[in-house]
């Protein structure tokens, strides 16, 4: 049997579990997660190679109708750009819910000729399982070019292997894989490090901090056997800076400790991490500022 190899986009509205799904598929965390919508801002590539199939999953920012700010417009572009350049689309929806956000994503997908697999996520939270089948039938009627509908739980891993198999069947035949079999991501290490730091900020502060927070790596290099990472945390107002630093610097210390532990796990080596909090007014609605922070 010949090999199969290609790209599959993971799309959906914000906060439906796209990044958790990618991490579960890979068996390792490369895409950051939090309960806050629009956590993912970049295209994160996860490489899953099993047997004669290599699927390169593209975890995209959540598609959303609100695109007033430059950052929101960037995320919509990042998510939409992959839809015609993949062999399969995994459309993730949240259990029995169907919202205006899902409808917005559906309108985008209706313009694509790529086969779609609907992943109905968080089925472990559905208490009345009798409601699931009618919901699946309803989804099938909504999607003009759907290939399959699979109920899953990205958190517990239920049916995720089945989803991977169905996706792999949609990939084109290939003489060789694009990436080596032991690679799990094509994203550079600096981006992954910055994203991990940002995740710890979002998880530590929850609703206390507005969405306008970014992380920029100043230094990322080896000194002896230790990886030195120096990063700036950008906010838009002095009040936000005070929140991140916390009383006597305790919050920033907590964020730094949690990020360092995850970085050591990801890179499998000792890490020295230094963080600064800086103010850059209006960066989230400034195209030039976004480019300088890596949003391209």
Based on the fold, state whether residues 10 and 111 are members of the same structural domain. yes
Could you give the CA distance from residue 187 to residue 40 in angstroms, rounded to a whole number? 14
Q: Are 34 and 254 in contact (CB under 8 A)?
A: no
Question: Per the structure block, which two tokens stand in for 25?
Answer: 């598929």
Based on the fold, state whether residues 127 and 197 are members of the same structural domain. no
- Which pLDDT tens digits describe the chain residue by residue (296 residues)? 589 999 999 998 888 888 899 989 998 877 756 555 555 555 678 899 999 999 999 887 655 555 566 666 656 666 566 777 899 999 999 988 898 888 888 888 888 889 999 999 999 988 888 888 888 888 888 876 788 999 999 999 999 999 999 999 999 999 999 999 988 887 788 888 988 898 898 888 866 665 678 888 999 999 999 999 999 998 888 888 999 999 999 999 999 999 999 999 989 999 999 999 998 887 777 677 667 666 66
Q: Give residue 263's pLDDT.
A: 94
Based on the fold, state whether residues 86 and 205 are members of the same structural domain. no
CA atoms within 13 A on the CB side of 118: 26
Buried b (16+ CB within 10 A) or exposed e, 120-150: bbbbeebeeeeeeeebeeebeeebeebbbbb
Based on the fold, state whether residues 151 and 49 are members of the same structural domain. yes
The helix (H) or strand (E) run that includes residue 163 is helix 160-169
Could you give the CA distance from residue 80 to residue 78 in angstroms, rounded to a whole number? 6
Based on the fold, state whether residues 26 and 169 are members of the same structural domain. yes
**Residue 89 in domain:** yes
CATH number at residue 245: 3.30.300.20
Domain end among 174, 199, 219: 174
CB count within 10 Å of CB 233 equals 22
The alpha carbon dihedral of 44, 283, 12, 111 has a sign of: negative
Q: Give residue 171's pLDDT.
A: 95
Q: Give residue 34's pLDDT.
A: 54
Which domain does 249 fall in, by range?
189-292
Based on the fold, state whether residues 138 and 208 are members of the same structural domain. no
**Residue 121 in domain:** yes
**Which residues lie across from 230 on neighbouring strands?**
219, 274
Based on the fold, state whether residues 130 and 90 are members of the same structural domain. yes
Based on the fold, state whether residues 230 and 165 are members of the same structural domain. no
CATH number at residue 32: 3.40.50.300
Domain end among 111, 140, 174: 174
Based on the fold, state whether residues 147 and 216 are members of the same structural domain. no
Name residues whose C-beta falls within 8 Å of residue 190's C-beta, 6 or more positions apart in sequence.
217, 220
**Residue 202 in domain:** yes
Could you give the CA distance from residue 170 to residue 147 in angstroms, rounded to a whole number? 9
The number of distinct structural domains making up the chain is 2
Q: Give residue 49's pLDDT.
A: 95
**Residue 109 in domain:** yes
**Which residues lie across from 223 on neighbouring strands?**
226
Based on the fold, state whether residues 112 and 19 are members of the same structural domain. yes
Domain end among 131, 149, 174: 174
Q: Give residue 294's pLDDT.
A: 67
């Amino acid at each position: 049997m010949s090999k199969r190899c290609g790209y599959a986009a993971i799309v959906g509205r914000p906060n439906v579990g796209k990044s958790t799904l990618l991490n579960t598929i890979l068996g390792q965390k490369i895409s950051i997660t939090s309960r806050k919508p629009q956590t993912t801002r970049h295209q994160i590539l996860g490489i899953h190679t099993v047997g004669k199939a290599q699927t390169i999953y593209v975890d995209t920012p959540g598609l959303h109708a609100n695109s007033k700010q430059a950052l929101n417009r960037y995320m919509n572009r990042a998510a939409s750009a992959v839809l015609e350049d993949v062999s399969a689309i995994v459309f993730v929806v949240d259990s029995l819910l169907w919202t205006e956000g899902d409808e917005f994503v559906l309108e985008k997908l209706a313009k694509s000729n790529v086969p779609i697999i609907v992943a109905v996520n968080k089925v472990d939270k559905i208490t009345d399982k009798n409601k699931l089948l009618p919901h699946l039938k309803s989804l099938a009627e909504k999607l003009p070019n759907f290939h399959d509908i699979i109920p899953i739980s990205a958190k517990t891993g239920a049916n995720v292997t089945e989803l991977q198999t169905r996706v792999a069947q949609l990939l084109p035949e290939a003489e060789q894989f694009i990436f080596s079999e032991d690679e799990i991501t094509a994203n550079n290490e600096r981006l992954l490090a910055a994203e991990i730091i940002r995740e710890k900020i979002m998880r530590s502060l929850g609703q206390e901090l507005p969405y306008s927070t970014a992380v920029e790596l100043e230094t990322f290099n080896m000194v002896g056997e230790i990886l030195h990472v120096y990063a700036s945390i950008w906010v838009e107002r002095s009040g936000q800076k005070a929140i991140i630093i916390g009383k006597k610097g305790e919050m920033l210390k907590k964020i730094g400790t949690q990020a360092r532990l995850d970085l050591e796990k990801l890179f499998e080596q000792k890490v020295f991490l230094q963080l600064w909090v800086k103010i850059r007014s209006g960066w989230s609605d400034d195209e030039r500022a976004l480019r300088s922070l890596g949003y391209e």
